[in-house]
Amino acid sequence: MTFEFKDDSEVWLEDIFANHYEEARSRAFSLLAEGHASEDGCIVTKTQDPRKTRFRGRQVPAYRFIYCVLNQRVASYDDVIRHRCNNRRCINPEHLDIGSRADNQNDDRDFAANGVDHSLL
**Binding residues for Zn ion, per CB under 5 A?**
42, 85, 87, 90, 92, 95
Tell me how far apart the alpha carbons of residues 74 and 17 are, in angstroms, rounded to a whole number.
Answer: 9
Least separation in angstroms between CB 95 and Zn ion: 3
* Residue among 78 and 117 whose Cβ is closer to Zn ion: 117
| Closest CB 8 distance from Zn ion, rounded Å | 28
Residue closer to Zn ion (CB basis): 19 or 106: 106
CB of 86 to Zn ion, least distance (A): 8
Comparison of 54 and 88: residue with beta carbon closer to Zn ion? 88
Could you give phi then psi for residue 72, rounded to 5 degrees?
45, 50
**Using CA of residue 66, residue 92, residue 47, residue 7, what is the dihedral sign?**
positive
